[in-house]
């Protein structure tokens, strides 16, 4: 029995909660390095703190994927996990910027790291079922549309999340400078707003989307309802999971190499863009990111705090810019992929991102210019303003990374194991970030002498390698 097509707005509702999830994720990506630095982390150890994110994804997503494949209750199959993850993520977002309040229990920097782990683990609990929900609810001929809408909503959320601290500084008037050992008020309130938006949008999807009943799902997917089985031991379940892992579809294996280069690059961008442009464009020496040096000072000089605050806010602007460009590109992504093929579209998109990263080196002009952003006016270095240009390429790559591998992969997965395989596929996202977290800080320290701009260039090289590796992927729907 053919699965019915969904009206556009129902496809929209299926993914609407991802807007709030990505809003929170964008706040994390743009501000966690800033928060941890303010709480006392030094430059080359930042990537080690960020390891919490991919490790949580590596542990959580396969477990949640397998569990959601087996779950059928009043809320449905995927929605219980989407809602539970959103509640936990909101809690982490409320607690993280308040780390100094918990100094009697542990060092604020470590508390901040724990809240990063909680937030990212909860984001992963929410994200994986959202991916699988599209595969469940949207028929194959609408699959590219479904993931393109998801990518559009992700990037709308990312724009809002990335720009929030900047808006709170320059429109509302909150202070964006952080006293020693504390978090800037703009960042704190941005996290509060993000937690509220996350819960609101996820509730929209949970309420407005009705998942198929088991019998209907099995008919639409051509499955036979499985007979009840005895509860298996953890050893047996791990063995079954390992068998699924080693027998993953060939397309998944091929995409894994692309994912490695893509997410290795993205991890570097999220961790090191703030110190890179603070040093390279605002002219702040690397010592101002050294924890030992900062601890030797009674206070941070006002001009240094102001420059770091301004650069940190501007990172939100350029991250919002790449998300905005990604959202615009997502609108046309389905049509472009249908005309030129998913592989070529994917490869050229990653190439654009790689060139964008490498072109950071071209923008070092420190002359101050006045910028009218319509909602407010600011004065920033010319080089910072020019960084909007490479964000076009980064945004195109990000849109493709969010949509194309899932569109290609979903066509090759067995319908009764979509959730667990989507979870396993997260290994190809988490593993490169773990590798990046372990080695990027050491490369930055010992190869690039803590000059963070060069680690961004390295990210560009890796993204170009990802573009090349796409050509070795077999797309079963467009071969």
Q: φ and ψ at 381, to 5 degrees? A: -60, 145
Whether the CB-CB separation of 252 and 426 falls below 8 Å is answered with no
Q: Among residues of the chain, what percentage have pLDDT more than 70?
A: 87
pLDDT at 170: 84
Could you report the per-residue pLDDT of 72-85, keeping only the tens digit for each?
Answer: 777 777 888 888 88
CA dist 145 → 338, 405, 414, 457 (Å) = 11, 13, 20, 33
The domain 8-224+244-472: what is its CATH number? 1.20.1250.20
Q: Where are the alpha helices (DSSP H) in 411-447?
A: 418-425, 427-446
Question: How many whole angstroms from its chain centre is CA 211?
Answer: 26
Report the half-sphere exposure of 11 (CA within 13 A, side-chain side). Answer: 21
What are the residue boundaries of the structural domains of the chain, listed by start?
Answer: 8-224+244-472
**Which segment, 44-53, 223-232, 399-408, is predicted with the most confidence on average?**
399-408
How many other C-beta atoms lie within 10 A of the C-beta of residue 235?
Answer: 8
Lowest mean pLDDT, pick from 8-22, 30-44, 139-153: 30-44
Where residue 40 falls (left for φ over 0; alpha for ψ -120 to 50; beta otherwise) is left
pLDDT at 104: 59
Structural tokens at position 50: 């960020």
CA angle 354-452-311, nearest 5°?
Answer: 95
More confident residue, 218 or 189: 189
State the pTM of this model.
0.73
d(CA 282, CA 88): 37
DSSP assignment letter at 2: P
How many other C-beta atoms lie within 10 A of the C-beta of residue 392?
Answer: 19
Question: How many whole angstroms from its chain centre is CA 58?
Answer: 14
Where residue 183 falls (left for φ over 0; alpha for ψ -120 to 50; beta otherwise) is beta
**Which segment, 294-303, 391-400, 430-439, is predicted with the most confidence on average?**
391-400
CA angle 443-301-97, nearest 5°?
Answer: 65
d(CA 479, CA 466): 20
pLDDT at 479: 46
Mean per-residue pLDDT of the chain: 83
pLDDT at 266: 95
Whether the CB-CB separation of 357 and 457 falls below 8 Å is answered with yes
Could you report the per-residue pLDDT of 172-209, keeping only the tens digit for each?
Answer: 888 888 777 678 888 889 999 999 999 999 999 888 88
> Which pLDDT band, with edges at 50, 70 and 90, does 228 fall under?
very low
Could you report the per-residue pLDDT of 278-337, keeping only the tens digit for each?
Answer: 999 999 988 888 777 877 887 888 888 888 888 988 998 998 898 889 888 988 888 898
Residues with Cβ within 8 Å of 435's Cβ and at least 6 positions away in sequence, in order, are 260, 264
Burial classification of residue 376, based on how many CB atoms lie within 10 Å of its CB (0-12 exposed, 13-18 middle, 19 or more buried):
middle
- Token match 């070092």: residue? 364
Q: Where are the alpha helices (DSSP H) in 168-283?
A: 185-208, 214-221, 234-246, 250-280
d(CA 298, CA 103): 19
Lowest mean pLDDT, pick from 7-21, 270-284, 383-397, 422-436: 422-436
d(CA 29, CA 21): 12
Lowest mean pLDDT, pick from 24-28, 232-236, 294-298: 232-236
> Which pLDDT band, with edges at 50, 70 and 90, does 233 fall under?
low
Which residue in 66, 77, 31 sits closest to 50, CA to CA?
Answer: 31
**What 3-state class would DSSP assign to 177?**
coil
Q: Answer yes or no: is pLDDT of 236 > 70.
A: no
């Amino acid at each position: 029995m053919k699965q019915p097509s969904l009206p556009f707005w129902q496809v929209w509702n299926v993914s609407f909660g991802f807007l709030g999830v990505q809003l929170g994720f964008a706040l994390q990506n743009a501000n966690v390095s800033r928060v941890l630095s303010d709480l006392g982390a030094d430059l080359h150890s930042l990537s080690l703190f960020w390891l919490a994110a991919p490790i949580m994804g590596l542990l959580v997503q396969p477990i949640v994927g397998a569990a959601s494949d087996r779950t059928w209750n009043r809320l449905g199959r995927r929605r219980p996990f989407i809602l539970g993850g959103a509640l936990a993520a909101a809690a982490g977002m409320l607690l993280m910027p308040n780390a100094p309040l918990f100094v009697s229990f542990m060092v604020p920097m470590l508390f901040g790291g724990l809240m990063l782990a909680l937030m990212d683990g909860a984001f992963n609990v929410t994200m994986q079922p959202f991916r699988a929900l599209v595969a469940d609810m949207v028929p194959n001929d609408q699959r590219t549309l479904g993931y393109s809408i998801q990518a559009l909503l992700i990037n709308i959320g990312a724009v809002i999340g990335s720009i929030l601290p900047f808006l709170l500084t320059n429109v509302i008037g909150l202070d964006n400078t952080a006293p020693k050992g504390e978090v800037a008020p703009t960042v704190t309130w941005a996290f509060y707003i993000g937690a509220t938006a996350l819960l609101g949008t996820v509730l929209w999807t949970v309420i407005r989307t009705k998942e198929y009943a088991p019998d209907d799902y099995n008919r639409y997917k051509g499955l036979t309802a499985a007979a009840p089985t005895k509860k298996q031991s953890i050893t047996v379940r791990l063995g079954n999971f390992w068998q699924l892992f080693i027998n993953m579809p060939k397309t998944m294996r091929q995409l894994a190499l692309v994912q490695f280069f893509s997410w290795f690059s993205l991890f570097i961008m999220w961790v090191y863009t703030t110190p890179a442009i603070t040093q390279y464009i605002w002219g702040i020496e690397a010592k101002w990111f050294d924890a030992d040096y900062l601890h030797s000072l009674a206070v941070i000089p006002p001009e240094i705090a102001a420059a770091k605050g301004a650069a940190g806010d501007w990172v939100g602007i350029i991250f919002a810019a790449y998300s905005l460009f990604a959202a615009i590109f997502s609108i046309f992504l389905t049509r472009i992929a249908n005309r030129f093929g998913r592989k070529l579209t994917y490869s050229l998109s990653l190439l654009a991102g790689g060139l964008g990263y490498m072109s950071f080196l071209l923008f070092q002009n420190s002359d101050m210019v006045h910028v009218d952003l319509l909602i407010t006016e600011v004065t920033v270095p010319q080089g910072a303003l020019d960084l909007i240009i490479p964000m076009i390429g980064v945004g195109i790559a990000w849109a493709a990374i969010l949509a194309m591998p899932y569109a290609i992969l979903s066509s090759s997965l067995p319908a009764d194991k979509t959730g667990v395989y989507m979870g396993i596929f997260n290994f190809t996202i988490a593993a490169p970030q773990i590798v990046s977290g372990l080695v990027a800080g050491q490369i930055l320290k010992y190869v690039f002498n803590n000059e963070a701009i060069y680690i961004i260039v390295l990210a560009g090289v890796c993204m170009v390698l990802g573009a090349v590796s796409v050509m070795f992927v077999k797309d079963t729907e467009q071969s």
